[in-house]
Structure 1
Amino acid sequence: MRRLGSVQQKVPCVFLTDVREEASRKRERQQFQVVATEKVNPVALAANVDCALATEKLDGTCCYVTLHHDQLHLWARFDRKPNKQAEKRFKKHQHTHNSCKGFSWNVEEDFKSVPEAWIPAHRVKHLDGRPVPDEHGHIPGWVPVERSNKQYCWHSSVVDYEVGEALVLKPCCDDDDDTLEITAVPLADLQEQTLELIGTNVNGNPYGLGSKQQPVHCLVPHGRLQIRNPPAVNFQQLCSWFQESPEGRVEGIVWHCNDGTLVKIHRHHLGLRWPDGEPGLASRPVVIRLDRTADAYSSSQGLLASLLPLNGRRFGRLRDVQCEL
């Protein structure tokens, strides 16, 4: 399988979008809604989106695996955002000009501070050696996940730095059906990849993983959950697919184009609810596959050690794993 695009920055919609002055279905307290028009985005057309690989867009939080102090680490998404005064000026400019273009930032004064170990995402533009914000007023970036940082405790639960492995959800290699597997993957195999952290305490847990008493989280490499019979990149066909197809019980689609371009569609772009019933991922069968012995995870404080007693067990639905921990 070819190496898929890394989600380092905001992925554009496969259609051109419009902004409506109505409450957002996706974000609380946001008094505008970004909706798709029926015109395909020129970026998607230039990347030949009709020949792209269609994959499931997951409802979680983005992560990244790369080096930190010469050791592979999981990194959490941390966008540098403007302070209140700068954000107020930015929104005023947007309202006056109906556009983000032409706004001038002072990166040193207009933005909140970031942790010392923060790094900007790939392809962030720089001016005079300093990263500059994107059209939305953010500077996408990452911070390393350390076990001592309680803010990222759910990220920490899926990685064991001593063993050098992470807990990953992916399709089974030896099955032709919809079976998934939860397995330990060496961080070296995930280096420079982005993944989605999903689970009990992420984005309202639409997939029904775990419980408050026994939280369950895992990483899903971006692009691994392929859509077998994707609809054409057509507004009406996509609307029908999301509402009528069993495969359409997903948050959205991300297309991985051959030149590395990524484009997406979210249900909210089409005026559709999410979640709407049980997501397809939650109802897929899953098997636990951990090859290590109990001694290997003896010092682990995360899920790798907790799931080891379930090694080899098969569950009828992904969300059923919570009942056995």
Structure 2
Amino acid sequence: MRRLGCVQHKVPCVFVTEVKEEQSRKRECQQFQVVATPRVNPVALEANVDGALATEKMDGTCCYVTLYKGKPYLWARLDRKPNKQAEKRFKKYQHSHRTCKGFPWNVEEDFKMVPETWIPAHRVKHHNGHPMPDELGHIPGWVPVENNNKQYCWHSSVVDYGSGAALVLRPNADDEDVLDIADVPLADLMEQTLELIGTNVNGNPYGLGSKKQPIHCLVSHGSIQIRNPPPVDFQQLCSWFHQSQEGRVEGIVWHCDDGTLIKVHRHHLGLTWPDGGSYLGGRSVVVRVDWTGDECNSSKHLFVSLSNLNGHTFRRLQDIQFEP
């Protein structure tokens, strides 16, 4: 049985990759690009990627639902990163060795402080009781999203701890062509990772909301399936991303039967993103938010606004508008 939405901080590419000494298109601080070769990754072959469930890779910011203060809470992604001195040594090592691998970290001294509530992500390796950085020099982790933290105001807009609800974008149970935006119990999302998408996240490639009426929502990882995925072949995948309407996505994540996750990003194939309108933003959506929380709570205006649209259908996700 496939387990969707599991917490995993590093997912291998479906193809064997190589490093090019060019500025990364995805990360400003990364002075190299990771690009795919036509050869399928042995990890993907071993996990039988051809029989895996293909899902859309969402372009937002990663979140996690687990307990905090004794109840289900939304947690925001926060990587513990090197301090300035360690970052300089790390970049010098990358330049001279042409790789990130093998850099000698001193975890107790090389990294910036994080809040006391911070926890490392699952599957982060530990050494002598300390979480260890990945190849990019980051220690992936999480912090709880509390309502009084302005840094995570868009995260806060999609959860209401009073009623224990979250705003989730998900496939309609009766029509696979349609999406729903629904208020879902946080308890139903326990131990899942999700993507926060919307107006103020990553340039809003899905066209949700506007500056005046921002809209954000959570999408469980693995929940948006690709119905007619291309074969795992370099040229066919390139053609699918470039020519297919359904290929207007950031990437694909394959969920294999043994629990392995495999991905490919458009940047791996030398393709741009976003590239015109997204496939997700063009899908029809039904609002199914019947929220009965405290309407005087101004931070929950998104719940109130969507509740006023309960039952409304929009031709495209990007067409959702609130009444003036």
TM-score normalised to structure 2 length: 0.95
Q: Secondary structure at the match of 1:208?
A: coil
- Encode CA deviations 1:37-62: one digit per residue, 9 max, x unaligned: 11111221121111111000011000
Q: Which amino acid aligns with 1:196?
A: E
Q: Secondary structure at the match of 1:279?
A: coil
**5+ residue gaps, structure 1:** none
Q: Which amino acid aligns with 1:310?
A: L
In the other structure, the counterpart of 1:133 is 133
Checking the alignment, whether the CA contact within 8 Å between 1:297 and 1:304 is kept in structure 2 is no
In the other structure, the counterpart of 1:298 is 295
Q: Which amino acid aligns with 1:238?
A: L
Q: Which amino acid aligns with 2:22?
A: E
Alpha-carbon distance between aligned partners in 2 of 1:204 and 1:324, rounded to the nearest angstrom: 24
In the other structure, the counterpart of 1:187 is 186
Checking the alignment, whether the CA contact within 8 Å between 2:66 and 2:190 is kept in structure 1 is yes
Alpha-carbon distance between aligned partners in 2 of 1:63 and 1:31, rounded to the nearest angstrom: 27
Residue 314 of structure 1, CA deviation = 0.5
Deviates more, 1:132-141 or 1:182-191: 132-141
Structural mapping, 1:15-26, within 5 Å: 15-26=15-26
In the other structure, the counterpart of 1:32 is 32
Checking the alignment, whether the CA contact within 8 Å between 1:11 and 1:264 is kept in structure 2 is yes
Deviates more, 1:269-278 or 1:157-166: 269-278
Q: Which amino acid aligns with 1:55?
A: T
Alpha-carbon distance between aligned partners in 1 of 2:289 and 2:101, rounded to the nearest angstrom: 51
Aligned residues: 322
Alpha-carbon distance between aligned partners in 1 of 2:205 and 2:122, rounded to the nearest angstrom: 29
| 1:11 and 2:11 correspond | yes
Checking the alignment, whether the CA contact within 8 Å between 1:181 and 1:289 is kept in structure 2 is yes
In the other structure, the counterpart of 2:250 is 251
Structural mapping, 1:91-240, within 5 Å: 91-176=91-176, 178-240=177-239
Alpha-carbon distance between aligned partners in 2 of 1:297 and 1:49, rounded to the nearest angstrom: 47
Alpha-carbon distance between aligned partners in 2 of 1:107 and 1:26, rounded to the nearest angstrom: 26
Return closer, same or farther for 1:324/1:55 CA change in 2, 3 Å cut-off. farther
Q: Which amino acid aligns with 1:143?
A: V
Checking the alignment, whether the CA contact within 8 Å between 2:169 and 2:182 is kept in structure 1 is yes
Checking the alignment, whether the CA contact within 8 Å between 2:5 and 2:194 is kept in structure 1 is no
Return closer, same or farther for 1:245/1:318 CA change in 2, 3 Å cut-off. same
**5+ residue gaps, structure 2:** none
Q: Secondary structure at the match of 1:72?
A: strand
Residue 98 of structure 1, CA deviation = 2.3
Alpha-carbon distance between aligned partners in 1 of 2:200 and 2:100, rounded to the nearest angstrom: 33
Checking the alignment, whether the CA contact within 8 Å between 1:209 and 1:322 is kept in structure 2 is no
Checking the alignment, whether the CA contact within 8 Å between 2:171 and 2:179 is kept in structure 1 is yes
Q: Which amino acid aligns with 2:156?
A: S
In the other structure, the counterpart of 2:269 is 270
Residue 19 of structure 1, CA deviation = 1.6
| 1:75 and 2:75 correspond | yes
Checking the alignment, whether the CA contact within 8 Å between 2:7 and 2:121 is kept in structure 1 is no
Checking the alignment, whether the CA contact within 8 Å between 1:250 and 1:280 is kept in structure 2 is yes
Q: Secondary structure at the match of 1:56?
A: strand
In the other structure, the counterpart of 1:52 is 52
In the other structure, the counterpart of 2:320 is 321
Alpha-carbon distance between aligned partners in 1 of 2:226 and 2:85, rounded to the nearest angstrom: 43
Alpha-carbon distance between aligned partners in 2 of 1:160 and 1:107, rounded to the nearest angstrom: 36
Checking the alignment, whether the CA contact within 8 Å between 2:281 and 2:317 is kept in structure 1 is yes
Residue 138 of structure 1, CA deviation = 1.0
Return closer, same or farther for 1:102/1:3 CA change in 2, 3 Å cut-off. closer
Residue 21 of structure 1, CA deviation = 1.9
Residue 88 of structure 1, CA deviation = 1.5
Alpha-carbon distance between aligned partners in 1 of 2:5 and 2:314, rounded to the nearest angstrom: 31
Q: Which amino acid aligns with 1:212?
A: K
Checking the alignment, whether the CA contact within 8 Å between 1:17 and 1:36 is kept in structure 2 is yes
Residue 316 of structure 1, CA deviation = 0.5
Checking the alignment, whether the CA contact within 8 Å between 1:147 and 1:153 is kept in structure 2 is yes
- Encode CA deviations 1:57-107: one digit per residue, 9 max, x unaligned: 011000000001211110000011111111221222222222233221110
Return closer, same or farther for 1:28/1:96 CA change in 2, 3 Å cut-off. closer
Residue 248 of structure 1, CA deviation = 0.4
